[in-house]
Chains A and B, each alone.
Chain A
Amino acid sequence: MKQAEIDQQITCYHCGNDCAGERIEQDEKVFCCNGCREVYSILSQNGLCSYYAYNEHPGVSQEKAVKRFDYLKEPSIIRELIDYTDERFTIVAFYIPNIHCSSCIWLLEHLNKINPAIYQTRVDFLRKQINIRYDTQLITLHEVVSLLDKIGYEPLISLQDVVKKQALDKKDNLVKKIAVAGFCFGNVMLLSFPEYLGISVYEQSFRQFFGWLNLAFCLPVLLYSSTSYFKSAWTNLKNKVLSIDFPLALGIAVLFSRTTIEVLMRTGPGFADTLCGLVFFLSVGKFVQRKTYYHLSFERDYRSFFPVAVQVIHGDTEKPVPLSDIKIGQRILIRNNEIIPADAILLKGDARVDFSFVTGESVPVNKILGELVYAGGRQTGEAIELEVVKPVSQSYLTQLWNNEAFTRTQENKTQTFSEKVSKYFTVALLIIAFGSFFIWFPFDLPRAISAFTAVLIIACPCALALSTPFTMSAALSIFDKNLFYLKNTAVVEQLAHIDTIVLDKTGTITIGGDTAISAHIIATDTEKQMIYSVCANSTHPLSRLICQYLNNYIKLNTNSYYEAPGRGITAEIDGHFIKVGSAKFIDSMQVEATSARKTEVHISIDEKYIGYFTIQQRYRDGVNIVQSLSPAYRLYLLSGDHGHERESLSSVFSIEDMFFERTPQEKLDFIRQLQQSGHKVMMIGDGLNDAGALKQSDLGIAITDNVNNFSPGSDAILDGKVLKKLPVFLKFSKDALHVVYISFCISLTYNVIGLSYAVSGKLSPLIAAILMPLSTFTIISFTSLATHLAAKRRKLI
């Protein structure tokens, strides 16, 4: 029995991680850390252990730093966060990235068992959102958030609140419009059939009745469901643009007026079913096009990366202050793993700031007292005190968002195919319509009018308007299955037009936080043990990497330990004098001339040079495959980091296309220059320093290892695992565009067939009623089939 237990890898009962090191047990269950055990004990005390019954290891590892929610006691911050409050209860919504399984839903909806002051909780799984109603008198917001954090569901609270933004989604009642159009379409179809099948002479009174009913059903379609087409056609006309909405609106108007006249004059049944069907299918197309990802946000800026509040020191006391109220000259306290929110001068403490997300620099930077620290860095190590020198919105990093790339509306985006085509289409349509009118006009006025209206009805570009949304949304869901999330359907088309690709380095082609260390030392075991002992004293990330590398030694006692920040360490062990640090710090003649290429740590013992460690970033899987994109695409590397990896990357990028030590502003300008020389630029990046370049580019892709983590504003989000599929994605986007072209040809064929009836002025309602749905169905089935076949050919499904 015991043997089996040992053979089996022991995993944490709560989160499923390996339980390495000391065993933490409770109730005969093993946990990887105290955090997980604590969550378990809270749940078991409250009789909520069914949490573990629905899924294996439903928890998320709790091995994280302690979070502080003191700022949630500030009334000004509380007011910003809550949705509704009165004497009795308060309603608040939070975004909780950890929601991932049915156990999460079960537990979060039973919060009331842990604390009865929480009346009701409701989880929206896809949005990873929770709505909480709690008693205003019995519990505070701070306590609610602490409780959520204690059971392992820490809400993400940022300045740019994810929850609020999604609630403000534009509501134009599209679903209601579809419902009305569908309702009328169904009824009108039913009432039109007798006419098509033939009504006997004895039943002529029905014909009148059906006609009037049809007209009545057309009214809500015209006045409610199709209003957006008239509005957009009108605004486009005012801006002197001929969009596809113009012929559509024209077609709808003509259909309705002809139906009204025919019913009133008792000359025919009218085109009520064509009208309702047209509006119904068009609205469905619009709905399909508007696919959104609730769990992703494409519009994030620095505000969702920065904390909500920061601790400000007033004499002896400290108090959380909202970021917007931070003023120049205030002293702020930044603890381990917190982000420095504004440009500030270091006053106290050992600052070791990780700027990887901001500058692309891979190694944390040491700052000395009195030095200026830029906003956006993450402090690692002890708490530090700083004095703010610039307000949050004017800092080195955040002022990037004041750039015109963020304020102007997106005009540089390429025109879509249907936008380009609809211009010519509309002109051709009007020429044919007026042409047929003037040909019949000298002979037969009623027939001329009938031909004119028939052309506008039959050539109404319904199928054309549907081909793009259906193809692109099918392509979107295929990308989605491959962990590539596009903001909207228009992005597929932009993807097909790209000819230049610019990549960031840190976090984009290297894996953030994952480094490979290799040793180039000639040393005995005792010497290695000494190196280990010296490095074990330091909290510098490079020292920690070396300790991890030389992990199975016992630490020796060190004397006269001295750490020169940013340069190296000296120490004495058993009379041996050890130096660990940069090449300059070691200052030995023997240092090999390899420096300045990689991050290196050199070592000497008793002034004798031992060798060095190199620390290199690990590249993502796809980097070599990305290379195959050249020469079809021009590839550039644009990094904020130093150029010491220039050579190892030269297999992927040509030397003159690699640019290092670029500031965020320079990255943006670089993209703009490329665009000005006529290129369609795709930018792939991950950090805040790429945000400007992502925005400026024709297609900005944010790459991330976890789609729920922060990613800067972009047109698409790519999971880091599938970078290798990028060439296939690009090819597939071109396939999708070809499908649109072909379906455009099909819909044109239908139009030509219909027009041959229409110009003669003898369009029967039956032909219109058959042709319109038939062309629509052909287009819908062709586009979805062809897109899926193309995806299969590219091995994407």
Chain B
Amino acid sequence: MSIIYFLIGCSVLLALVFLCAFFWAQRNGQHEDMYTPSIRILLDDEPEQPVQKSDEGHISSRP
């Protein structure tokens, strides 16, 4: 049963890694704005395109 010592050591270590990850996220300011990313992810990236003078095509999708 002495394997328990090893297993508990592993589990505590793993938990510590997650705690550190949380601290890192907190320090990085990832929890400062909890709302905007939820909108940002819905906005599409524009495909790179040559500059056009007219803007047809952008609008035609709208009724």
Contacts and interface: CB of A to CB of B under 8 A. Distances in A.
A69 interface: no
B15 A183 contact: yes
Nearest to B32: A124
Give the dominant DSSP class at B's interface.
loop
Interface string B9-46: 00110011001001100100001110110011011101
Contacts of B39: 102, 105, 125
B62 A47 contact: no
A124 B19 CA distance: 26
B33 A126 contact: yes
Nearest to A99: B36
Given A179-B23, A180-B19, A123 B36 contact: yes
B25 to A, nearest CB: 10
A206 B43 contact: no
Contact of A179 (B8, B19, B32): B19
A584 interface: no
Contacts of B36: 105, 123-126
A251 B51 CA distance: 69
B18 to A, nearest CB: 8
A152 B51 CA distance: 23
Given A105-B40, A183-B15, A213-B8, A47 B51 contact: yes
Interface in A165-187: 175-176, 179-180, 183, 186-187
Interface size range of chain B in the complex: 20 to 34
A105 B40 CA distance: 7
A54 interface: yes
B62 A53 contact: yes
A106 B22 contact: no
A793 B19 CA distance: 43
Contacts of A190: 11
A684 B53 CA distance: 54
Contact of B26 (A27, A124, A176, A203): A176
Nearest to B49: A47
B12 A187 contact: yes
Contacts of B62: 52-53
A95 to B, nearest CB: 14
Contacts of B46: 47, 50
B58 A186 contact: no
Contact of A102 (B15, B26, B42): B42
B42 to A, nearest CB: 7
Interface string B43-61: 1101001011001001101
Interface string A26-63: 01010000000000000010010110111000000000
Contacts of A126: 33, 35-36
Contacts of A133: none
A47 B33 CA distance: 28
Contacts of B12: 187, 213
- Central interface residue in B5, B55, B61, by most chain A CB within 10 Å: B55
Contacts of B22: 179
A185 to B, nearest CB: 11
B5 A209 contact: yes
B6 to A, nearest CB: 12
Nearest to A202: B1
A672 interface: no
A44 B51 CA distance: 11
Contacts of B44: 50
Nearest to A186: B15
Contact of B33 (A127, A186, A206): A127
B5 A47 contact: no
A206 B43 CA distance: 55
9 contacts: A47-B46, A52-B62, A53-B58, A105-B43, A124-B32, A179-B22, A179-B26, A183-B15, A187-B12
Interface of A: 27, 29, 44, 47, 49-50, 52-54, 102, 105-106, 109, 123-127, 175-176, 179-180, 183, 186-187, 190-191, 203, 206, 209, 213
Which 7 pairs between the two chains have the least Cβ-Cβ distance? A49-B58, A125-B36, A44-B55, A124-B33, A102-B39, A106-B43, A183-B19
Given A105-B36, A175-B31, A187-B15, 4 more contacts: A53-B61, A102-B42, A186-B15, A206-B1
